[in-house]
Amino acid sequence: MSDQRVAFVTGASRGIGRAVAERLANDGRHVVLCSRSAAPLNDLAGTIEANGGAASVCACDVGDRDALSGAIEGVIKERGRLDILVNNAGITRDGLALRMSDDDWDEVIRVNLTSAFAAIRAAARPMMKQRFGRIVNVASTSGLVGNAGQANYAAAKAGLVGLTKTIARELGGKGITCNTVAPGFIQTDMTKDLPESVTAQVLSTMAVNRLGDPADIAAAIAYVTSDEAGFLTGQTIAVDGGLTMC
Ligand code: NAI
């Protein structure tokens, strides 16, 4: 079995997940790229390998918990280990709570929250055997302070914070840490269609006078998942340019 640490990153095809995957590969991890369709992941794996890194592809819908658990178990069988799990895949289905459809509620909870629970359960046993694991759940400042129009999303992201703390307590004695990284406003496909007035309003309440870049989040996750971060667990790190400071 290789000594190289293996990282499983969901939502790796673009945006924050892609930046995390590239950063972890640059830091010497073998990165397993997970997202719904294989094509963009194959392109990214090619880019990572061209830059001297190591990556493999695992296409899977994280909203299907059996498929996700099976995918993680497959990685463990194939690579003999799993050291780092980054639950990053996420979606929005915005709407005011009183008008939100049950489907929009269920879908956002399934993709953003239930998937993390399923992935953690699949990853935890091998991590316990290794007596090493780094789990990161990517939440959002919406889950910390709420956001009108995002009852489903904010509930899912706040749920990740509670899940993180519980997993940190349950697995801390086994060498496994679990933390939440909560991005603020980051320039990705998820935010590109927001009206300029919203962007300007967010900027006006931030301490750092710029929107975030996916690399800002990747840098935080690189540290939280590093070997040297073994004393950091159960925390929620808001990487948000000073938007919330809570
Ligand atoms: P994005 O929309 O650019 O990328 C989302 C990724 O998740 C894509 O790779 C997509 O294919 C994948 N994905 C979505 N549903 C999936 C499913 N069912 N199965 C497998 N993969 C799926 O989003 P972005 O901005 O990169 O967001 C990444 C994470 O960061 C999300 O959890 C999001 O909620 C969170 N976040 C983003 C913020 C932002 O300002 N962009 C702010 C706060 C949190």
Report pLDDT digits (tens) over 106-150: 999 999 999 999 999 999 999 999 999 999 999 999 999 999 999
Burial tier of 239 (Cβ tally within 10 Å: 0-12, 13-18, 19+):
buried
* Residue range 183-216, pLDDT digits in tens: 999 999 999 999 999 999 999 999 999 999 999 9
**φ, ψ dihedrals at 95, nearest 5°:** 170, 150
pLDDT score for 52: 98
Indicate the average pLDDT of the chain.
97
Give domain limits for the chain: 6-237
Average pLDDT for 19-32: 98
Is pLDDT of 1 > 90?
no
* Residues 216-236, mean pLDDT to the nearest whole number: 98
Give the residue-averaged pLDDT of 150-164: 99
Q: Interhelix angle for 65-79 vs 115-130, to 10°? A: 20
pTM over 0.75: yes
β-bridge pairing 176-183 and 54-59: unpaired
Cβ 235 vs Cβ 229: under 8 Å: no
Nearby residues of 184 by Cβ (< 8 Å), 6 or more positions away? 141, 202, 206, 212, 238, 239, 240, 241, 243, 244
Q: Does residue 246 surpass a pLDDT of 90?
A: no
With a 6 A CB cut-off, is 241 part of the ligand 1 pocket? Answer: no
Closest ligand 1 atom to residue 112 Cα is 32
Please compute the mean of the pLDDT values over residues 11-36 and round it to a whole number.
Answer: 98
Residue 144 confidence (pLDDT): 98
Look at the domain 6-237 and name its fold. Answer: Rossmann fold (3.40.50)
In the predicted model, is pLDDT for residue 73 greater than 90?
yes
Closest among 81, 89, 77 to 33, alpha carbons compared? 89
The active-site residue, picked from 153, 155, 171, 220, is 153
Distance from C-alpha of 188 to C-alpha of 171, rounded to nearest angstrom: 33
Query: Which of 9, 57, 91, 110 for a ligand 1 pocket mutation test, highest count of atoms within 8 Å of Cβ?
Result: 91
C-beta of 89 in contact with ligand 1 (< 6 A): yes
For the CA of 153, the nearest atom of ligand 1: 34
Please check the confidence at residue 67 and state whether its pLDDT lies above 80: yes
